[in-house]
Structure 1
Amino acid sequence: MGSRNRKLHSNKHRRYRMTRQELVKAVAERAGHSQTAVNEILNAMIGTIQDTVAAGDKVVLVGFGAFEPVSRPERDGRNPQTGAKITIAASTTPKFTPGKAFKDAVNQAGK
Structure 2
Amino acid sequence: MNKTELIDAMAADAGISKAAAKKSLESFLSNVEGALKKGDRVSLVGFGSWSVSERAAREGRNPQTGKTIKIAAKKVVKFKAGSDLGKAVN
CA distance in 2, matches of 1:55, 1:79: 33
Deviations 1:22-54 (A, max 9, x none): 110011100111110010110011011111112
Matching residue of 2:25: 42
Matching residue of 2:49: 66
Matching residue of 2:76: 93
Q: TM-score, normalised by structure 2?
A: 0.95
Extract unaligned runs of 5+ from structure 1. Answer: 1-17
Q: Structure 1 stretches (4+) deviating beyond 4 angstroms?
A: none
Structure having greater relative contact order (Cα 8 Å, sep ≥ 6): 2
Task: Tell me if 1:57 matches 2:31.
Answer: no
Identity of aligned residues (%): 41
What is the letter of the counterpart of residue 22 of structure 2? Answer: N
RMSD after superposition:
0.8
Extract unaligned runs of 5+ from structure 2. Answer: none
TM superposition shift of 1:81:
2.8
What is the letter of the counterpart of residue 29 of structure 1? Answer: A
What is the letter of the counterpart of residue 38 of structure 1? Answer: A
CA distance in 1, matches of 2:64, 2:6: 38
Matching residue of 1:104: 87
Of the candidates 12, 23, 26, which is equivalent to residue 29 of structure 1? 12
Give the number of equivalent residue pairs: 90
